[in-house]
Structure 1
Amino acid sequence: MLIRSLLTPVNKLTTLGLNDTVKSAIDIIEENGFLSLPVTDDDKFIGFLSKQYVYEKFFESGEKDFEAFLQKPVSDFAYMKVEPVKDTLFIEEAADIFLNQQVRFLPVVNDFGKFLGIVTQKALFRVITKVYGLEDAKIVIHSDDFAGTLLKISDVIYKHGANITNIAQMDTEVMGIQEISIRLVGDNLEKLPEKLQAKGIKVKEFIPAKNN
């Protein structure tokens, strides 16, 4: 999935222009409870401006008149905390940027550098939750034969009439044991652990769906 599907378009954002005063920018930030705002020049993304950054620059400047300081243009304070990403970026790559850059949103541009909007952490986590079925029931199984066990599991789940929404495998690094986490939907799923164990499958844990 590409991040363009998670985009908050620029026409739904509050943005700042280069010639706006810092005072007007801070007023908008405070009135709306924003942490920062994107700065644009026509259809180009220039950077961000945050209230914290403005205050830091004021104290660093040694100036005495804060009101006069606030009359400076936004262009003096726009900073690029993270480079814009293309709208063709995969969500997995966006997640890696969020993790390593520690930013709350990513500016998104097209192949011509036109600013399209932003992708927020919240939007990304929402789609990850949906894709990986994190609201669905979960069965955790331990096995030293992933392929063989998965075949047995699939057969039991199919005969029960349930559907698998996601499968994740992790090496426990203990005696070759693999942990298999299966997300699934269906009726009477609480009966599945017993059916799986009857087939010699070691069920470590069963967690009902969150809406149950």
Structure 2
Amino acid sequence: MFISNYMTKNPITVSPDTPIDEATGLMKMNHFRRLPVIKEGKVIGIISDRDISRIAPSPATTLAKYEINSLLAKMTVKDIMSTPIITVKSDATVEEAALLMSDNKIGGLPVVSSIGMLVGIITETDIFRVFVKVMGLAAGKTRMTLDFKDKMGATKEIADVFAKHNMNIDSFVSFNTPTGDSEAIIRGNFSQIDEIKAELDGLGYTVTHIAHIGKA
């Protein structure tokens, strides 16, 4: 899963000298939460709705409305943009972008070419769409959660139960929970749920949750 396949290509941008009210208007009109700031084709910053909120007048201000408007009219993007900016290369994976956003607590990343030119932007919304697509959730899947013993051959042992009933596993993920336990999440178009659950329980893999997600 490469970023280039899921990013928004050729995103709307602003220059550092763009007036704040113009940048705000672009964001509102296009329903964006952030805009890359470009100089000579390269990203030098980013302006977000959070940056704009920081300079918005509060009810406690003592300035008259015309004074506030006058001050804001003189401000440009370079006065409030976030910099230095975190970017990601276009040949990186979606997983790398998701980790960067999570580690830095940000909702979007400008995507740059090998020579640093802006080619796109990827946001948390794009990541969510990838997650839904990869998991095949829109088409409808059965999601089964079970206690997972992390031992040699455990994955094959579980898969053999489904194979015995001529059912394919579309995705299999095992992980440690915040409490330190191990769980596995299995997704697919499953029937004979009761029989599978009983066999997994018999092997020591307790099924703790079953749900159907997406279209019936």
Residues 145, 77 of structure 1: alpha-carbon distance in 2 compared, 3 angstrom cutoff = closer
Moved more, 30-39 or 102-111: 30-39
- CA distance, structure 1, for counterparts of residue 13 and residue 145 of structure 2: 46
Letter in 1 for 2:119: L
Residues 42, 172 of structure 1: alpha-carbon distance in 2 compared, 3 angstrom cutoff = closer
Residues 138, 57 of structure 1: alpha-carbon distance in 2 compared, 3 angstrom cutoff = closer
Deviation per CA, 1:119-163, whole angstroms, max 9, x where unpaired? 010111221233345663233333546334433322221121111
Could you tell me the TM-score, scaled by structure 1's length? 0.77
2:5 is matched with 5
Could you tell me the TM-score, scaled by structure 2's length? 0.76
Deviation at 1:178, TM superposition (A): 4.6
Specify which of 67, 70, 73 is matched with residue 68 of structure 1: 70
2:197 is matched with 193
2:33 aligned with 1:29: no
Counterparts of 1:196-207 in structure 2 under 5 Å?
196-197=200-201, 200-207=203-210
- Cα RMSD (Å) of the superposition? 3.3
- CA distance, structure 2, for counterparts of residue 150 and residue 25 of structure 1: 52
- CA distance, structure 1, for counterparts of residue 88 and residue 155 of structure 2: 38
2:185 is matched with 181
Deviation at 1:83, TM superposition (A): 1.6
2:80 is matched with 77
Q: Is there any run of 5+ residues in structure 1 with no aligned partner, and where?
A: none
Residues 66, 178 of structure 1: alpha-carbon distance in 2 compared, 3 angstrom cutoff = closer
Percent of aligned positions with the same letter in both sequences?
26
Q: Is there any run of 5+ residues in structure 2 with no aligned partner, and where?
A: none
- CA distance, structure 1, for counterparts of residue 145 and residue 193 of structure 2: 13
Give the length in aligned residue pairs: 206
- CA distance, structure 2, for counterparts of residue 177 and residue 32 of structure 1: 44
2:93 is matched with 90
